[in-house]
Amino acid sequence: MQVSKMEEIFKNLPIEVKDIRLLPGGDTNEAYKILGQDERYFLLVHPGGSEGFFDGEARGLELLNENNIAAPRLIDKGLVGDKAYLLITYLEEGPVGSMGDLARLMKDLHEIESPNGKFGFDFPYESDHIKFTNAYVDTWAELFIGQRMDGLTQNLIKKGIWQNRDKLLYHNIRRIMERVLGDRESHPHLLHGDFYSGNYMFLEDRSPAIFDPNPLYGDYEFDIGISMAFGPLSRDFYNEYFKTIKRDKNLPLRLEFYRLYFYMIHLNKFGKVYKNLVDESIYKILKSS
């Protein structure tokens, strides 16, 4: 009997597998909870993945753990046939803890500096719907606008989701983003890259942890803006995060740039159901500038 690709993955994991449970949800990867000899594990499997599909997330988890940021530990990754997989430790969820603690965790993350002083990352951002090179550049605008926003725009036009009118509107806000980001002195620090309410949790001791990173070295406001896209986190989180950070008049506008980016990611992935959110964000930027 031919062994299935999933059976081959399970067989070759560097752990003793005692029980496997398929977890519900997930629009990109299949997810499994695995009971090992002395520990529980979380396995992500991406059908049709490339050998390097999980490289960025894997390196991000390594960096988080190296810097004592609470996150799952990387155990293994690889490719079996056309299925890329990532094996990490399983974090047990506990009672809701302090959002101020979560803010302090994110500030600790954002203090990790880029080793080469540039914006980017060693591995690309790779998903099943778009890929960004994360090539190292000298300025945040080059990475955010030149790689992320321009790349998304090209994809949306290619898919027919955006028409000429949308393209013209983007060119208008692109000039605004260039001007506003050009006026800000940004420094490259480690970012989660996908920091919204679904990618943090509180552990059994009520301490916060983060997971599912799409890491890059960039401006910390990117993570904060994304966190506000689909319902902001609590006031306690933002008050604690910005307690020692001076807020300038263009902060709300810059945060809207990153909300727009996150809406465009969803528009590119799921289609026109997110078109209204993108349009509303674009008009906010035009009006605020």
Q: Tens digits of per-residue pLDDT, 209-222?
A: 999 999 999 999 99
Per-residue model confidence (pLDDT) at position 48? 82
Report pLDDT digits (tens) over 223-242.
Answer: 999 999 998 999 999 999 99
* Predicted confidence (pLDDT) at residue 42 exceeds the cutoff of 80: yes
What was the pLDDT predicted at 37? 86
Q: What are phi and psi of 42, to 5 degrees?
A: -120, 125
Q: What is the pLDDT of residues 154-198, one digit of tens each?
A: 999 999 999 999 999 999 999 999 999 999 999 999 999 999 999
The β-bridge partners of 23 are: 31
Mean pLDDT of the chain: 95
Give the pTM: 0.95
Which alpha helices (DSSP H) does the chain contain, by range? 5-12, 55-66, 99-109, 140-141, 150-158, 164-182, 221-227, 235-241, 251-270, 275-288
pLDDT at 277 over 50: yes
Say whether 288 sits in a helix, a strand or coil: helix
Does the annotation count 194 as an active-site position?
yes
Q: What CATH number matches the domain at 99-288, 3.90.1200.10, 2.40.110.10, 3.20.20.140, 3.40.50.720? A: 3.90.1200.10
Give the residue among 182, 195, 183 at the shortest CA–CA distance from 221: 195
pLDDT at site 50: 85
* % of the chain with per-residue pLDDT over 90: 89
Write down the pLDDT at residue 2: 37
Please state the rounded mean pLDDT for residues 99-124. 98
Q: Which of the four pLDDT bands, split at 50, 70 and 90, describes residue 49?
A: confident
* 3-class SS of residue 239: helix
Among the listed residues 19, 128, 166, 194, the single catalytic one is 194
Structure letter (DSSP) for residue 101:
H
Residue 5: pLDDT band with limits 50, 70, 90: confident
Q: Is the pLDDT of residue 47 over 50?
A: yes
Reply yes or no on whether the pLDDT at 270 is more than 80.
Answer: yes
- In whole angstroms, what is the distance from residue 241 CA to residue 99 CA? 10
The CA-to-CA distance between both ends of the chain, in Å, stands at 65
Average pLDDT for 251-278: 97
Q: Average pLDDT of 237-260?
A: 96
Q: Which of 117, 228, 137 is nearest to 181 (CA)?
A: 137
Domain ranges of the chain: 5-89, 99-288
DSSP 87: E
> Residue 43 is inside which H or E element, if any?
strand 40-47
One fold for 5-89 and 99-288: no
As a whole number of angstroms, the distance between CA 4 and CA 81 comes to 10
- For residue range 63-79, what is the model confidence (pLDDT) as tens digits? 999 999 999 999 999 99
* Residue 255 contacts residue 221 (beta carbons within 8 Å): yes
Residue 6 or residue 182, greater confidence = 182
pLDDT tens-digit readout, 196-207: 999 999 999 999
Name the residue among 24, 190, 6, 13 with its Cα closest to residue 81: 6
Characterise 59 by phi-psi region: left (phi > 0), alpha (psi -120 to 50), beta (else): alpha
What's residue 4's pLDDT?
Answer: 75
- The answer on pLDDT for 1 being more than 50 is no
Report d(CA 54, CA 170) in Å as an integer. 31
Domain 5-89 coded CATH 3.30.200.20:
yes
Torsional sign, CA 181, 182, 187, 188:
positive
- Residues of the chain with pLDDT > 70, as a percent, come to 98
SS3 85: strand
